[in-house]
Structure 1
């Protein structure tokens, strides 16, 4: 990653943490705000308007009426809900994969998904001290075990972060 991209990602992370601290609602508008810095653009990037392809064309992400509302609805489910209690790791994994598979931007969707995952954790007061497993993986839309693998990776990072925090210096 070049210095410009790294600065953009760090700026997006700062915004993300501030948004999490104020318990912002996770939606496409919030992703756009972060993505503007990730991509280094003057304006927030728009929702893509054409089908997108990934993994050498093996995966296709469609476009249709109501896609933004559907994405916003899915992202809203990342919030803690007493009526529907899901573990934090499941909510973080789901939000990450929603961004991956809605593929809302023409560019930078993997980074947007990563920021989404970090936001879901930060909103619950959690900051990971490492993300190596989370930054070097790819998931397939048609692989039913991938969400479980991602939730397991998130749990591994949470466990390691807590272990290191509890260890004597």
Structure 2
């Protein structure tokens, strides 16, 4: 199916359709088939990229297992704490090896990529959602301009606009789940304090220098896997990424590659991959700026 579509922009929908047809052929009700396909695929495909053979095999295995009558009888295992897994991986990732942003110094955009994406993508989902996110983005820019320290208190002020709540939302008080329940993030008396400590590491540190791309990617994933709010954590993580860059005078012309991907808490390659995606955006922008300076 991916060969026939050429893995263009619409191939994900075709993939879901074909897999649903497969299950329906073997007597699975359409509604159940759709849920099983969502569970098997689970946002694991990247846009404009054909899946590797190993990923295709794993999706096929998940579908096959879902059809086994004895699958439901398997003994339940204790749910892992994916926040704990992320914190262990976070310590082991060689963040210092991440790309160096293709240059140094401030990088003003020719187009506000974050705002533009909100106006196009989020407004199509819900105009009120886009309006709230744009209001939060203004606060992000203001906080970055005054070099504000990044912590949960700052996040919840933005999140009030993201969610449209009367008051800034509190830190969650129960375990959180994501990716259709495949990831579980634990909660403890020190979870908020640990988030604040992690977010503080997004600032430039002369004694322990790390590339800006690494610090932005790590802070983004911290919010994803600490999952501090009951809702809207992906949007909060996106705002954090924009803030970390903006605090050092760097902005993006486009953010589509950064908003349309999902990472696993237990994947040690996730952080470096996100840092590389950030670097791709910034390097392209710096190259454009340099070319314009060289034009007579």
Over aligned residue pairs, what C-alpha RMSD do you find?
1.1
Pick one of 77, 81, 105 that aligns with 2:201: 77
Task: Determine the structure 2 residue equivalent to 1:87.
Answer: 211
Q: Quick one: distance in 2 between partners of 1:24 and 1:106? A: 25
Does the residue aligned with 2:278 lie in a helix, a strand or coil? helix
Does the residue aligned with 1:70 lie in a helix, a strand or coil? helix
Please report how far the alpha carbon of residue 160 of structure 1 lies from its aligned counterpart in structure 2 after TM superposition.
1.8
Structure 2: gaps of 5 or more residues: 1-121
Task: Determine the structure 2 residue equivalent to 1:131.
Answer: 255
Please report how far the alpha carbon of residue 59 of structure 1 lies from its aligned counterpart in structure 2 after TM superposition.
0.3
Displaced runs of 4 or more, over 2 A: 163-169
Does the residue aligned with 1:16 lie in a helix, a strand or coil? helix
Is structure 2 residue 238 aligned with structure 1 residue 118?
no
Q: How many aligned residue pairs are there?
A: 169
Task: Determine the structure 2 residue equivalent to 1:106.
Answer: 230
Please report how far the alpha carbon of residue 162 of structure 1 lies from its aligned counterpart in structure 2 after TM superposition.
1.7
Q: Quick one: distance in 2 between partners of 1:8 and 1:27? A: 20
Q: Quick one: distance in 1 between partners of 2:289 and 2:256? A: 18
By relative contact order (CA 8 Å, sep 6+), the higher-ranking structure is 2
Q: TM-score, normalised by structure 2?
A: 0.56
- Higher-Rg structure is 2
Does the residue aligned with 2:177 lie in a helix, a strand or coil? strand
Task: Determine the structure 1 residue equivalent to 2:154.
Answer: 30
Task: Determine the structure 2 residue equivalent to 1:153.
Answer: 277
Task: Determine the structure 1 residue equivalent to 2:65.
Answer: none
Structure 1: gaps of 5 or more residues: none
Q: Is the 8 A contact 1:130 1:161 kept in 2?
A: no
Please report how far the alpha carbon of residue 56 of structure 1 lies from its aligned counterpart in structure 2 after TM superposition.
1.3
Task: Determine the structure 2 residue equivalent to 1:11.
Answer: 135
Q: Quick one: distance in 1 between partners of 2:286 and 2:230? A: 36
Q: TM-score, normalised by structure 1?
A: 0.97
Does the residue aligned with 2:264 lie in a helix, a strand or coil? coil
Q: Quick one: distance in 2 between partners of 1:148 and 1:65? A: 30
Please report how far the alpha carbon of residue 159 of structure 1 lies from its aligned counterpart in structure 2 after TM superposition.
1.0
Task: Determine the structure 1 residue equivalent to 2:166.
Answer: 42
